[in-house]
Amino acid sequence: MSSETEAAQFSNGTDAVQVISPNDDHRVTPGDDERRHLNDAVRSLPSHAVKDLLSAGVCIRCIFRLFGISDHAYFRSSLSPSVMCNILGEGDSSSSESMESELKPEVCRICLGILQFIYRDEKEMLVKRKNGDELAASIAELTRQEGHQIDGFSLEVSIPPIIFENEQAVRLYMKKKYGSELWFQERLSECISTKDALKFAIVNPLEIILDVKSGPSYVRIRLTYTETKPSIIPSKSVDRNGGSKRRKTGTNNGLDTVHVELVGNGTGCCDLSLGQGSPASGRSSTGLAEHESSECSNFPLERVNEPCHLVFLCYRTPIYFGGRYLKFSRNVSQTRWIIDDERMGEASIEEIIGGNILPMCQGDSYKFHAAGREDIDVRMLGSGRPFLVEVQNAREVPSEALVKEIETRMNNLGNKLVGVKNLSLVTSHSWDLMREGEAEKQKQYSALVWISRPLEDEDLQCIASHKDLQILQRTPVRVLHRRSPLERGKIIHWMKIEQITGSSQYFLLHLCTQAGTYIKEFVHGDLGRTHPSIGSILRCRAEILQLDVTDVKMDCFLAE
């Protein structure tokens, strides 16, 4: 990340540290109007309560949000206790100096440094940004390094649940101490959540630096804050006070934590103010439950020696390519097939198609999905089988022309193992369409069959006379090692025999069946596990020599 190093002092009760600050190209320096508004906002606050909170180790931005001050500038400006001292001091420089000396900057006991822009990075280095502009510049630089093609972004923020507990303890303390004062009911009912305050600080500068708008987007910027030393949370509090939040358990490099919030609503953040419950929750107009006043014994909060860890992540939600594939070889599996470190077949459809699409998108990985599958020795002909390729975290979204170029390239491969039709970028809704159609689809086949006696004219008529034939199939012997032993009812919609010139015991069987029918077993009977079968209908032994899928009757990914 391109940055300059400036020496700065940050006292958290232990050692001073050196701080890394990003380039100032996009920094918004507070002007005279901003300072005037800031002074006016601070002077509108009850000074005795503000001094009380400062003395208790609450940072200035948390004080602002507790009192409902929501202007972006207050959260983006470089704020220090001296700001409050200069405004709230009695105009006496000695009293200001005395007040500031008592209020050495430390990690906020409510937000754990989040709104002070202090954090531990992935290398365990202590980092302090002066304001939201500097933090936004760091995030933007990471996004650029990832190389994403961006036309917008949405912001995801995850914070430790202890922050909510800390805020509630402070609000309950203030209610007990100042609840009878006129300003209390009005100001503390307007509390702004930590996430919203962080949004005020970084969304607008991110929009300026990245030159795109925030809002619902496929590109997500995620900030995951986790406690350095996780606290023990009273089990009743989080569920009671944050019942509307989504909860996840377990962590993975700090990415799967509690209270993941997708920030969306066109401004980059959802409006989820902490401490404001429904009337049914028993809360007063200040968002505090009347019976919770006893919990103010949690105040004053313990000193915080370490800020949160912060992990940045920029990623794109999956993009999808849909189409239909054809398989011309009887030695190609649908997906990569390895048994005892030995590859089965000479290639796989998954690797041929996905391996050509992934580099085009500069993605991390891909997943291959298809509407059913055929055995490795079965060809897929006709209009092909519908498939989707899901690309994870694509840096580039290819143009329509480039997609067609990739389709042509795959169809011109020298080995002629696989062909692709109608390849295109599709939405995630296509996944649902493919899955819905898969259960109801019909499939047509062509099978080369041998029977133990010569074929007669009556056999042709007998086979063709069966319409919507219902059969019962127990799980075939050949797949019992990986499938449950069930009995399935299937339908053979129609059949017909095509004779082969010069042969009396070989013929082509064309048939249309319900999805999921085991065709090989329908021909030879599978030791009586499929009934009726071609063998039982013709009253002779029947064996299948070759099988092709000639049509998968589904509407998705057909040519327009």
User: Are the CB atoms for 163 and 241 separated by under 8 Å?
Assistant: no
User: Are the CB atoms for 323 and 420 separated by under 8 Å?
Assistant: yes
Greatest extent of the chain over all pairs of C-alpha atoms, in Å:
115
Q: Which of 375, 377, 457, 526 is catalytic?
A: 375
Amino acid making up residue 88: L
Question: Alpha helices, DSSP H only, in 23-90?
Answer: 32-43, 47-55, 60-66, 72-76, 81-88
Axis crossing angle, helix 81-88 with helix 93-102, rounded to the nearest 10:
140
Kindly give, in sequence order, each residue whose CB lies less than 8 Å from that of residue 123, ignoring residues fewer than 6 positions away: none
Whole-angstrom CA distances from 358 to 327, 334, 354, 506 are 20, 17, 6, 44
Distance CA(287)–CA(516), nearest Å, equals 57
Amino acid making up residue 139: I
Question: How far does CA 526 lie from the centroid of its chain?
Answer: 45
Cα dihedral across residues 252, 258, 263, 269: positive or negative: negative
What is the total residue count of the chain? 560
Whole-angstrom CA distances from 411 to 323, 325, 346, 417, 419 are 13, 10, 17, 9, 5
- The question of whether 375 is a catalytic residue gets the answer yes
Question: Alpha helices, DSSP H only, in 441-492?
Answer: 457-464
Q: 358 burial class (0-12, 13-18, 19+ CB within 10 angstroms)?
A: middle
- In this structure, the dihedral spanned by the alpha carbons of residues 492, 494, 499 and 505, taken in order and rounded to 10 degrees, is 30
User: Are the CB atoms for 434 and 556 separated by under 8 Å?
Assistant: yes
**Catalytically annotated residues:** 375
